[in-house]
Amino acid sequence: MNKRSGLETKKCILAASMDVFSRKGYTASSIREIAKAAKISIGTVYIYFKNKEELYQNLIENKKQELTEKIGYIFLEKKSAREALKDFIRIHLEYAVKHKEFILLHIREHGFSFGIEKKRAFFNQQIEIIEKIIKKGIDSGEFRKSDPGNTARIIMGTIRGIILTIALDNVNVRPKELSNFILCALLKDKQVKNNIP
């Protein structure tokens, strides 16, 4: 095994665990298989994670952080509210397609109540981002006036439902279609008539 930093080793373990958990499921997976997939010793895995559950929890947190960082770039670029919302939707749906097997595993083996407080905090964070986008759109005159908080909850609920559809029914919904659907409700009449770019 090549020498690598602790951070690289941890990333390698998380990547291997993603692969093993997605293929075999949480219950049927073992630290031994994850170590083999990562091409490291079992003892090395235990340096970073005390057991399989801690590794799985870290993997979930890692994936949420990865998604949060991608979403964060929306605000670093000067975009219209419409473009920001389209990017937000695209990033979420692309993530769901890329990690469909992992989402399915999580639902199948742990159900919706597993880690409910962390999930709630994550989704509240996503709702706050949408709310900021909507406020920006209302302030700039792009979006019609609405209650930004309630509108953000409706949009996030729709996105969550589509993500479940992608995972459970193996149906791909194109981000552009979902964006157009949501933007039809937000854009002022004149902008809707002129088509949604």
- pLDDT single digits (tens) 62-119: 888 888 888 887 776 778 999 999 999 999 999 888 888 888 877 777 665 666 788 8
| Same structural domain, 124 and 73 | yes
Cα–Cα distance for residue pair 135/21, rounded to 1 Å: 40
Average confidence (pLDDT) over 124-153? 94
DSSP 147: -
In terms of residue numbers, what domain contains 13?
Answer: 1-50
pTM for the structure as a whole: 0.81
**Greatest CA separation for the chain:** 63
Closest to 88 (Cα-Cα) out of 163, 190, 167, 194: 163
| Same structural domain, 29 and 104 | no
pLDDT at 153: 97
| Same structural domain, 89 and 186 | yes
| Same structural domain, 182 and 137 | yes
| Same structural domain, 183 and 143 | yes
State how many domains the chain has: 2
Helix (H) or strand (E) holding 188: none
Distance of CA 113 to the CA centre of its chain: 17
Closest to 99 (Cα-Cα) out of 8, 27, 166: 166
